[in-house]
Amino acid sequence: MSERIGIFGGSFDPVHLGHKRLADFAVNALKLDRLLIIPTACSPFKTRTFSPDEHRMNMCRLQFCEDKFEVSDIEIMRGGKSYTVDTVKAVKELYPESTLFLIIGSDQLLQFHKWYCFDKIMKNAVICAVARAEKDDISAMEKYSDENLRQHGECKILEFTPLEISSTDIRQLIKNGENTDNVLCREVSQYAKREGLYL
């Protein structure tokens, strides 16, 4: 069956309300039938060691429990460095009749031509870059897309107002024993506390 399926990857360490806001926005803006939440096994762009895969998967399942979301272990099961081209190819093989939408950030868009086999990614998925209207130079993003990406496939730029918080900030808040009620859902906060994460 043909569906509109989004791909939203990240370390999700921990998954937070900013991720949820972006996921809800993507589903609505792109009229997705479902959004795949894919915790990365090992990002080519990060050197920090992640929390155990099991914990990141469990936290994602707690945060993304609605039917429109599907938490996938496709990268974790594959192991090694998580290259997006491999993930998109694997999702396309699972859903060959569906249209795929890869959700990325504005900073990622401006480096996208440097991604491994970026042209092959664009053959299988529509690139959807999320732009912060109050911070990002959207005209520069459009110019970059026109000059570097349009000949390889479709690229959409979506204006979005994010929750300005990062997983790095949240790990520090937890380590310091500070309140995280405004950045973590209750279930994720309780899970991290119970498992002694980020202390």
pLDDT at 115: 97
What pairs with residue 160 in β-bridges?
132
Q: Which CATH fold would you assign to the domain 4-165?
A: Rossmann fold (3.40.50)
Write down the domain spans for the chain: 4-165
Placement of tokens 């972006």 in the chain = 22
pLDDT tens per residue across span 12-35: 999 999 999 999 999 999 999 999
pTM of the model: 0.94
Write out the two tokens for 105: 């950030």
Of residues 36, 43, 37, 27, the one with CA closest to residue 108:
43
**ω into 162 cis (within 30 of 0):** no
In sequence order, which residues have a C-beta less than 8 Å from that of residue 56 and are 6 or more positions away? 11, 12, 13, 14, 15, 39, 50
* Interatomic CA distance for residues 91 and 98, integer angstroms: 9
Per-residue pLDDT of 62-115, as tens digits, reads 999 999 999 999 999 998 888 999 999 999 999 999 999 999 999 999 999 999
pLDDT digits over 30-66, tens only? 999 999 999 998 666 666 678 999 999 999 999 999 9
Residue 1 has pLDDT above 90, yes or no: no
Q: What is the pLDDT of residue 29?
A: 98
The torsion angles phi and psi of 119, rounded to 5 degrees, stand at -65, -35
